[in-house]
Structures are given as C-alpha cells and as structure tokens.
Structure 1
Amino acid sequence: MIDAKTGNEASLAVITGGASGIGEATARGFVAAGWRVVIADINDERGDNIAAELAGRGSQVTYSHLDVSDEQAVLDFKQDVYSRFGRVDALVNSGGILQNATRVTKMAIADFDRIIDVNLRGTLLTARAFGEEMAAAGSGSIVNLCSLTTFQATPQPAYGMSKSALKMLTEVMAAELGPQGVRVNAVAPGYTMTPAMKQRIDRGERDPAKVISKSALRRFVEPKEIADAILFLCSPSASAITGVTLPIDCGWLVYSVYSSAAAQPE
C-alpha cells in the first residue's frame, strides 16, 4: 500500500488485543490515518471480521492469532510479520485481561498467575521481540497499555500489580532503546466504555455512578480517545517524547483525590 501524499509505502502498525475495545479502536484509528495494520488477538472470529471490514474499504489490514503469553508464539508471529512486510513502525501492546474486585487474601493465585502472565509477561515478550528489530532498523515506536491502577490502589490487586510494572517496563525500555532511535511510551486509560466495561456494568460488577462522580469531566472515556492518544505517540508530532505514561481518564486521578480532601472550598 502506497501513501498517496508521499509516494512511499505506508507505515505499519502491529496491534495486540486488536479485536475488541481499545485495541479495535486503535486499529481503526491507524487505518484512518493511512497506516497498514496487523491485528493480533485470540478472538479469531472477531479479528477476522474486523480485518475483512477494514480491508474491504481499501486498507491493508491483516489478522493473526496470537496468545501473547506464549513466548514461542510471539517469536513466530514476529518472524511472520517481518517476513511478510519487512518492517514494523509501531507496536501497540493492547492485549490484556481485566479483574473483578477482590482482596489479596481472597484472590485465587491461579487468577493472579494468568493476569500477570498475559498483562505483564505478554507485553514484555512482544515489546522485547519487536523492540529488538526496531533497534536494529534504527527507528520505531512502542506504546504499552497501563491503567489508573498504575498510579492508585484499587481492589484489583493482580491487575494493578501488572499495570504498575508496565510503567517501569516502559521507562526501562525507553532508556535502553532510545539510543537506537526507538521510542517507548504508555497510556493509562481511565474507566473506558469498552464492550467489556459495558458487560461488567450490566452484570452489576461496576458502578457507573461512582465512576462519573469521581471524574472531573463527569463521564467515561471513549475508546477512540485512547486510540487518538496512541496514534499521536506513534506519530512524528511526538518525536521527542519517550518514557512517558500518559493518563487519559477524564480527570479521575486528580478529582478522586481532590474530592477526598479533609477540607473542601465552599
């Protein structure tokens, strides 16, 4: 696919977890900006459908099955992408799983292991695999998905620990890969109205009134708003930005603390 403006081959983005929610919105955002996109996920039916829909509009979009927690699968996937396209300009690590409220003392260790395995280890595996290739090429951008729980304690201990660790991974890789021209950043979405969030609200596992009352902008974040920020971080407009974890939360972090202060202005 050739960029109509430059006459050069369009940039390529690899998006894990691209078959739903923030990952899907990100894939759509990159396509709208003229990028070629590889969607990777474990939801084959949804991934195939999205890729076919976007490709039907004239974009170069493909789908690959990928379990990010499987190291050999990640390495094979990377090899396949580079053999087909020869380059990767951006990697978005959106693949991950959520956790319902629980206590550390009550949490099933099997649940902890799975969340850490996918959210933290899976992001590490993909970032390391593609980051090495980007460093060899002398350019590239990686964006990881952190969370509000990166900054504030919530009753999601495994999820919070995985997302806190991703901030450190982002900063370490930014320092390591920067001299080779690779930028590594993260976004920290607030409560975002994804299909997964909607399902949890419908099941009574999330209280939307609490979210809205603690958000400065009095609303949920939309997936497209996260996608727009990710696209910016991967663009030339963010060429001097690396090692940053950017909250996109409708002001939840600032307002939740502000509104809990012992003294309030009249």
Structure 2
Amino acid sequence: MKKLENKVAIVTGAGSGIGKATALLFSKEGAKVVVSDINEEHGKQVTDEILNSGGTAIFVKADTSKAEDHQKLVEETIKAFGKLDIAVNNAGIGGEINKAGDMSLEGWQKVIDINLTGVFYGVKYQAPEMLKNGSGSIVNIASILGQVGFEKSAAYVAAKHGVVGLTKTTAWEYAKEKVRVNAVGPGFIYTGLVNEESMGKEALQYLETKHAFGRLGESEEVANLILFLASDDASFITGSYYPVDGGYLAV
C-alpha cells in the first residue's frame, strides 16, 4: 500500500523547488494534492504534471502572507476533497541581504510576513480541520538557519528560528488530539535561486565546501523526509526539528 493512500494534502510554495518535489512525491504515494503557489503558471504546471501521471490534484493560488488566502486554501481543499489530512507549509523567500542596521523596514517585514506569520496562518486554519478527522500531520519548512545564524540575513534567520519555536509549541497544543506538527530544516539546496548561474561558480563551490558531502542537497532529498513525517510511519513523532543539511551543522 502506498504511504499516503486516501490522504488529502496541502503543499504551499509547490510551484518549484522543495514544494514541487514534495507535491509530486505525495501524489506518487497516493495522496490527493492541493498544489498552492503565488505563481499561478508554475503552480498549474505542477498540477498538470500530477494529473498527466494519473494522480489527483487541484491548484489554488494563494499568497501565504495573507490570512484570508490561507483560509480560502483550506476551504477549497474541503470543498474539493471533503477533508484535510496533511499540510506542508513550505512557501518562503530569501529576502533582503544586508546587515541589520542597513536593512529596510519593508524588507524585514516582508520576510517575517511570509516566512513566519505565513506558517502561523497555515497552522491556524489547518489544525481545526484535522481535528475533525481525529488526526493529522503538519510539516513546517524551517531551515538550518532556524538553528544557527548567518551574516546579512537577520530577517530570514529570525523567521526560521520562529518557525521552529512555533512548531514545538503547536505540537504540544495538539498532541492529545493526534495532530502532529514537525519541522524540517533544509540546508543549502540546489534550486532556481541557488545554482551556478544565479550565484557564480566560485561562490557556489565555496558553499559546497561547507557541507560534509562536498555538495548541496537536491529538493527530492528533502521531500523524502517530509514524506516520512507526513505519513503514519512517523506516528510517534511530534514537536521535532530535523535538519537535512549534508553535514553542514556537524562541525
């Protein structure tokens, strides 16, 4: 039997990168997937890919920094599939690269709104629907920078630390109702924003040397852990934070 057979899952930021890899893997494992992204073109492409491979999916455009969009996302999920079993709060941005004293207030707020408050909105509207099922699993995507600092990334680091704290707190709040909440902390992953073209060869090679494996991660490697935490295989795991970092934090 497939790991997510008959499950309904929301994946935010599913138009690319880790979100896309997760949505495709969830479908492969039997889930009905609600693909959500602020980029309609990318989101619909992922939805079509699932449908063309024989899976079940719908696309719901959403700006995760807006509470009303999260509420609509959950409502559309229930309207289409009648329930919600799994949610992956993945949508996020890198944000402004500057020392704290030089960072614009708008740049700070945008990162906090999307990367932290957006995850809170997700849990706020997802958990009550899961309570109706008697169980559920929420996976919040944090970062290795939810554990350590990083120069010129104050807003991003603060937001991701916040996601880890939010995860631990809400996991305790909902544990007795069998709604599990965990966080995944990806290291540096090859994506559209992290590659030789966007960073330059020298910068990318330096970043690769910071990992014990001597390379960055692939989105599919993160999706594999998200799948485990979302599935019943992780039935006794809640309130945990799991780095997927190729040894970046080991030394």
- Following the alignment from structure 1 to structure 2, what is the Cα–Cα distance between the partners of residues 206 and 114? 30
Q: Which residue of 2 aligns with 1:264?
A: none
Q: Which residue of 2 aligns with 1:263?
A: none
Q: Which residue of 1 aligns with 2:164?
A: 167
Q: Which residue of 2 aligns with 1:110?
A: 106
Deviates more, 1:201-210 or 1:218-227: 201-210
Q: Is 1:249 paired with 2:245?
A: yes
| Contact persistence 1:100–1:205 (CA under 8 A) | no
Q: How does 1:77-92 map to 2 (within 5 A)?
A: 77-92=73-88
- Following the alignment from structure 1 to structure 2, what is the Cα–Cα distance between the partners of residues 9 and 218? 36
Question: Structure 2 residue aligned with 1:96, among 87, 92, 104?
Answer: 92
Unaligned runs of 5+ in 1: 259-266
Letter in 2 for 1:26: T
Q: Is 1:121 paired with 2:117?
A: yes
Is the partner of 2:148 in helix, strand or coil? coil
| Contact persistence 2:96–2:108 (CA under 8 A) | no
Q: Is 1:178 paired with 2:175?
A: yes
Q: What's the CA shift for 1:100?
A: 4.9
Is the partner of 1:197 in helix, strand or coil? coil
Q: Is 1:233 paired with 2:241?
A: no
Is the partner of 2:11 in helix, strand or coil? strand
Letter in 1 for 2:247: G
Q: How does 1:20-99 map to 2 (within 5 A)?
A: 20-99=16-95
Q: What's the CA shift for 1:210?
A: 2.2
Q: How large is the Cα RMSD of the aligned pairs?
A: 1.8
Is the partner of 1:105 in helix, strand or coil? helix
- Following the alignment from structure 2 to structure 1, what is the Cα–Cα distance between the partners of residues 94 and 86? 24
Q: What's the CA shift for 1:229?
A: 0.2
Deviations 1:15-74 (A, max 9, x none): 000001100010011111111101111110111111112101110011110011111121
Q: Which residue of 1 aligns with 2:130?
A: 134
| Contact persistence 1:22–1:223 (CA under 8 A) | yes
Q: What's the CA shift for 1:206?
A: 8.4
- Following the alignment from structure 1 to structure 2, what is the Cα–Cα distance between the partners of residues 161 and 11? 33
Q: Percent identity?
A: 34
Deviations 1:212-243 (A, max 9, x none): 22211111011000000000001111110000
Q: What's the CA shift for 1:137?
A: 2.2
Q: What's the CA shift for 1:84?
A: 1.7
Letter in 2 for 1:42: I
Letter in 1 for 2:7: S
| Contact persistence 1:21–1:196 (CA under 8 A) | no
Deviates more, 1:11-20 or 1:127-136: 127-136
Letter in 1 for 2:157: G
Deviates more, 1:177-186 or 1:68-77: 68-77
Q: Which residue of 1 aligns with 2:146?
A: 150
- Following the alignment from structure 1 to structure 2, what is the Cα–Cα distance between the partners of residues 166 and 247? 13
Q: How many residues align?
A: 249
Mark the CA change 1:9 to 1:238 in structure 2 (over 3 Å): closer, same or farther. closer
- Following the alignment from structure 2 to structure 1, what is the Cα–Cα distance between the partners of residues 30 and 192? 26
